[in-house]
Amino acid sequence: MPPFDQRIPKHDLSSGALAPLYEQVLRRNPGEDEFHQAVREVLETLAPVFAQRPEYLEGKLVERLCEPERQLIFRVPWMDDTGEVHVNRGFRVEFNSALGPYKGGLRFHPSVNLGIVKFLGFEQVFKNALTGMPIGGGKGGSDFDPKDRSDAEVMRFCQSFMTELYRHLGEYTDVPAGDIGVGGREIGYLFGQYRRITGRHESGVLTGKGLSWGGARARTEATGYGCVLFTEQMLRTRGRSLEGMRVVVSGSGNVAIYAAQKAQQLGAKVISCSDSSGAVVDEGGLDVELLQQVKEVERGRIAEYAERRGAQAKFLPGGTVWQIPCDVALPCATQNELGEQDAVALVNGGVQAVAEGANMPTTPEAVRVLREAGIAFGPGKAANAGGVATSALEMQQNASRDSWTFEYTEQRLAEIMRHVHDSSFETAERYGHPGDLVVGANAAGFEVVAEAMHAQGLI
Ligand code: NDP
């Protein structure tokens, strides 16, 4: 492998061709910090692309890419079990459909606002392009908090949410899936309401469905598994593998659980995971079955996992996994959860690779620390693309009324993750930044979308 290039390409956004564009993004989208951060990160790292291919700056193509095709905001009224009425806000940002129907998850979390949905939608456009599959980018959600709500309350909320959203969806227009706070239960309620309103069993309209009504095997596992398969590819280019490595995973939701499971299958020892109340350290290696029982079945807290493990595990209230010396760190919870000091702690603790299972979990300052230390870094657009890619495989099965085995689907996922890794790796090399997967993933995704938009005229 050529030596890792530690120089960080920088397109100076305070002057030059992109300055007025970024200024416009800030002006048009006031207060949307996460969206600004996502746009900035992409524009800065595309400097080598614009230097070699100045035609991409023509026709306001980059301006068009930064402006969603459509942004929907709607009222979601619902009644709780005591009869009290609540009013939440629903969002769907249909960002770019040059490559296919809008595709991207729904997030239910009290922190959700338009800026967060836009940052997620923007990232999704490049990620989906990187998979090589025919899917555009979108994202949605609500500031509804499903935590501590009964199944009946979650169902009433989902029904109300879909009563507005259904008119914008369709297997050829917009196909949502899950994200934080939206799993199999929520997808079930959403799909049921869509079917009732439209009178159609249109299985390709949502992904992450149950297996008996159009779901795909391995979709539940796909994001976490894909992230670990991507990590294995990164390590391979450095002549290493996950075998025997100590791994920490943040979060304990869908992505975290299956990242931990796959890492263990590949011979690593996963010693820590977390939730928003703290971290657990389990030096003997996480008991993933127990974790699934506590988090997926009982919807409990990570502290309860530690309690059930007894002397094996220790709960650190308010703690994070970044303080624990490890070889590999997989941030799998939420945006901006791994800051500069956390990155310093990881480097001091001997970390060799960091791959983002979550979307934008590493702050720009932390990314800088990791890159300058020469740590292998897999950005979310590439490392967590396995989830959406397997959603596209679910759409493929729905369209052909087929149902693949777990083994076959996992094999397809592995091929896709290899493609995502290799195209990011090769693109980074082509633009003179060998080994830099941030440049590689952004540039490879950008090229695909830019070519499609250029070919389709002024859209
Ligand atoms: P889940 O809701 O299943 O799990 C989220 C986990 O993150 C929970 O353990 C949660 O803990 C923790 N968490 C959430 N917010 C915070 C916070 N502010 N601080 C600390 N921990 C927090 O979500 P997913 O696993 O589906 O999603 C996780 C990440 O992966 C997100 O960034 C999502 O966008 C991304 N992603 C998900 C995909 C998927 O297929 N599901 C696909 C691609 C990316 P607590 O319960 O305490 O809130």
Q: DSSP string spanning 257-293?
A: HHHHHHHHHTT-EEEEEEETTEEEE-TT---HHHHHI
CATH of range 70-201; options 3.40.1360.10, 3.40.50.10860, 3.30.70.20, 1.10.260.30: 3.40.50.10860
**Does the domain at residues 220-378 carry the CATH identifier 3.40.50.720?**
yes
Q: What is the torsion angle, in degrees rounded to the nearest 10, for the CA atoms of residue 344, residue 349, residue 350 and residue 352?
A: -60
In which element (H, E) is residue 79 found? strand 70-79
Catalytic residue, from 139, 262, 269, 295: name it.
Answer: 139
CA distance 86 to 421: 44
Is 262 an annotated catalytic residue?
no
Mutational test site, ligand 1, from 187, 334, 360, 417, max ligand atoms within 8 Å of CB: 334
Residue 10 has a pLDDT of 59
452 Cα: distance to centroid of ligand 1 (angstroms)? 32
Q: CATH 3.40.50.10860 occupies which residues in the chain?
A: 70-201
Q: Which two tokens stand for residue 89?
A: 């806000």
383 Cα: distance to centroid of ligand 1 (angstroms)? 15
Q: Apex CA 251: angle with CA 367 and CA 410, to 5°?
A: 90
Residue closest by Cα to atom 22 of ligand 1:
276
Task: Say which residue the tokens 């702050």 belong to.
Answer: 363
250 Cα: distance to centroid of ligand 1 (angstroms)? 9
SS3 at position 375: coil
**What DSSP state is assigned to residue 179?**
B
Residue closest by Cα to atom 38 of ligand 1:
179
Q: What is the pLDDT of residues 172-194, one digit of tens each?
A: 999 999 999 999 999 999 999 99
Q: CATH 3.40.50.720 occupies which residues in the chain?
A: 220-378
Residues with CB under 6 A from ligand 1: 178-181, 223, 251-256, 275-277, 332-334, 337, 357-359, 384, 387
SS3 at position 252: coil
Q: What number does the ligand 1 atom closest to the CA of 335 have? A: 32
Q: Residue ranges of the chain with pLDDT lower than 70?
A: 1-12, 15
CA distance 69 to 96: 6
Instruction: Judge residue 144's burial from the number of C-beta atoms within 10 Å of its C-beta, 0-12 exposed, 13-18 middle, 19 or more buried.
Output: buried
Within 10 angstroms of residue 459's Cβ, the number of other Cβ atoms is 12
Q: Which two tokens stand for residue 223?
A: 């994001």
SS3 at position 329: strand
Q: Sign (positive/negative) of CA torsion 105, 106, 110, 114? A: positive
CA distance 48 to 54: 10
Residue 47 has a pLDDT of 87
Return the amino acid letter for 339.
G
Residue 16 has a pLDDT of 77
Distance of CA 150 to the CA centre of its chain: 27
Instruction: Judge residue 4's burial from the number of C-beta atoms within 10 Å of its C-beta, 0-12 exposed, 13-18 middle, 19 or more buried.
Output: middle
Could you tell me the CA-to-CA distances from 155 to 140, 162, 192 in Å, in that order?
Answer: 18, 11, 10
Question: 85-96 and 70-79 as β-strands: parallel, antiparallel, unpaired?
Answer: antiparallel
Q: Which two tokens stand for residue 81?
A: 């079990």
Task: Say which residue the tokens 């977390």 belong to.
Answer: 274
Residue 8 has a pLDDT of 58
Distance of CA 198 to the CA centre of its chain: 30
61 phi-psi bin (left φ>0, alpha ψ -120 to 50, beta other): alpha
**What DSSP state is assigned to residue 149?**
-
Q: CATH 1.10.285 occupies which residues in the chain?
A: 4-65
Residue 1 has a pLDDT of 42
37 phi-psi bin (left φ>0, alpha ψ -120 to 50, beta other): alpha
Task: Say which residue the tokens 């943040």 belong to.
Answer: 250
In which element (H, E) is residue 91 found? strand 85-96
Q: Sign (positive/negative) of CA torsion 250, 299, 403, 398? A: negative
362 Cα: distance to centroid of ligand 1 (angstroms)? 14
Residue 364 has a pLDDT of 96
CATH of range 4-65; options 1.10.285, 3.30.1490, 1.10.287, 3.90.180: 1.10.285
Residue closest by Cα to atom 29 of ligand 1:
358
Residue 160 has a pLDDT of 99
251 Cα: distance to centroid of ligand 1 (angstroms)? 6
- Residue 241 phi, psi (nearest 5): -150, 170
